[in-house]
Amino acid sequence: MSGLPCGLNGAVYLVEMDADGGVAKFANNKAGAKYGTGYCDSQCPHDIKFINGEANILGWNGTSANSGAGQYGACCSEMDIWEANSQAAAYTPHVCSSKGLGRCLGTECGDGDNRYGGICDKDGCDFNSWRMGDKTFLGPGLTIDTKKKFSIVTQFITADNTTSGALSEIRRIYVQDGKVFQNSKVNIPGIDPVNSITDSFCSQQKTVFNDNNYFKTLGGVAGMGDSLNNGMVLALSVWDDYAAQMLWLDSSYPTTADATKPGVNRGPCATTSGKPADVESQSGSAQVTYSNIKFGPIGSTFSGSSSGGSSPSNPPSTSTTASGPAAPSGGAGTVAQWGQCGGTGYSGSTTCASPYTCHKLNDFYSQCY
């Protein structure tokens, strides 16, 4: 992330668009996802040039040779796995009332004063460590050092700890220099000191920050789970922000609000930073590398030793992990709470520090708690 300064956003996210870009649904669409058609997200973007097999030319207002906005928007649920630069980061679920891509018109798009009356929840429910009260967790030289390579892990936990249950929690884990770091904990009065996204967290956050909980209105965490079950497409992007200069990610936003009030300050960047003209002229060679992208059962996509950091706010229930063969024995020393203690390919210690015991979560991962 070191190559992305204030005002830029290197994003890894999922959107509920058709995998083929809408070719199967719309006879006029001969291009497909390969050529960029079928895209949608929770901001209901109006700059999409073709929506549902038709050109978005009605009311088109060109802002440059390559961009502009038409009267229609392209809306769909979005799971922001990672939106970040070298100074700040957030992960955020956004839900919509439409299944898949919904073409919006007028108030449906949630533009302007109708932000909380459209198809999608544009704000989402974000977890930004800086905004949530820990300014020492992520950044250059901090606990998660953005000057160095690291891995981000996102875990989707269901209410009954099965693959078919309702989504109830979204966790974040980091791995850097061979060590596993649990996400930072909330340090804001009025919000429980948790480190993951749940409906309870979102409700408390919106109340304390005096934000509209449109996320809850449109389905909350379970609604995000419904979209994941429907199928989503991975998207990668590097972008600058003509609407808000990326201040919502890495600075104080809105700029008219008191930056000392909870939720306003989101990162260390100046409120004068992020102007696209400046970003494009000064950081035209900015870049970020994403690699080794994986998905699979919880615990199967990463490895490392415990850092002894924050623990999950709601560890998996032992009732769903007690069956099956015991974790293999072997290794030296003891494993701290929430550390890995077994699983396919694991060669470390299987002995948990007292009073914890090793629980098998799946064939790939066992954990001390």
The DSSP secondary structure of 218-269, one letter per residue, reads: TTHHHHHHHHHHH--EEEEEEEE-TTTTTHHHHSBSSTTS-TTSTTTB-SSS
pLDDT of residue 364: 67
- Written as one letter, the residue type at 331 is G
**C-alpha–C-alpha distance, residues 329 and 186, integer Å:** 36
**Which candidate, 252, 246, 289, 245, places its Cα nearest to that of 268?**
252
Of the CA atoms within 13 Å of residue 346, those in its CB half-sphere come to 31
- Hey, which residues are catalytic here? 78, 83
pLDDT at 309: 54
**H, E, C per residue of 49-64:** CEECCEECCCCCEECC
pLDDT at 207: 99
Residue whose structure tokens are 């302007």: 112
Whole-number Å distance between alpha carbons of 214 and 233 = 24
User: What is the full per-residue pLDDT of the chain (369 aa) written as tens digits?
Assistant: 999 999 999 999 999 999 999 999 999 999 999 998 999 999 999 999 999 999 999 999 998 888 899 999 999 999 999 999 999 999 999 999 999 999 999 999 999 999 999 999 999 999 999 999 999 999 999 999 999 999 999 999 999 999 999 999 999 999 999 999 999 999 999 999 999 999 999 999 999 999 999 999 999 999 999 999 999 999 999 999 999 999 999 999 999 999 999 999 999 999 999 999 999 999 999 999 999 999 999 999 999 888 755 555 444 432 222 223 223 333 458 887 767 788 877 788 999 989 989 988 777 677 787
CA distance 75 to 45: 7
**What's the pLDDT at 275?**
96
Report the chain's terminal Cα–Cα distance, integer Å. Answer: 32
Q: Which contacts (CB < 8 Å, 24+ apart) does range 154-161 have?
A: 154/81, 154/91, 155/298, 156/225, 156/228, 157/196, 157/298, 157/314, 157/316, 158/225, 160/320, 161/316, 161/317, 161/319, 161/320, 161/321
Q: Which two tokens stand for residue 255?
A: 């700029």
Comparing CA positions, the residue from 236, 268, 233 lying closest to residue 250 is 268
Peptide bond into 355 cis (omega under 30): yes
Cβ contact 77:89 at 8 Å = no
**Euclidean distance between CA atoms 254 and 241, whole angstroms:** 14
Measured CA to CA in angstroms, residue 254 lies from 3, 94, 139, 271, 279 at distances of 26, 20, 22, 9, 20
* Sequence-distant (≥ 6) Cβ neighbours of residue 58 within 8 angstroms: 70, 71, 72
Examine residue 254 and say whether the peptide bond preceding it is cis (omega within 30 degrees of 0). Answer: yes
**CB neighbour class for 164 (10 Å; exposed up to 12, middle 13-18, buried from 19):** exposed
CA distance 134 to 344: 35
Domains and CATH numbers, the chain: 8-282 (2.70.100.10), 315-369 (no CATH)
Beta bridge partners of 233: 15
* Nearest-5° Cα angle at 330, 325 to 334: 105
- Taking only Cα atoms into account, the Rg of the chain, rounded to an integer number of angstroms, comes to 21
DSSP string across 55-115: E--TT-EESSSS-EE-SEEEE--EEEEEEE-SS-EEEEEE-BSSSS-EEEEGGGG--GGGT
Query: The pTM is what?
Result: 0.84
| Helices 199-208 and 220-230, axial angle in degrees (round to 10) | 130
What does the pLDDT read at residue 330? 38
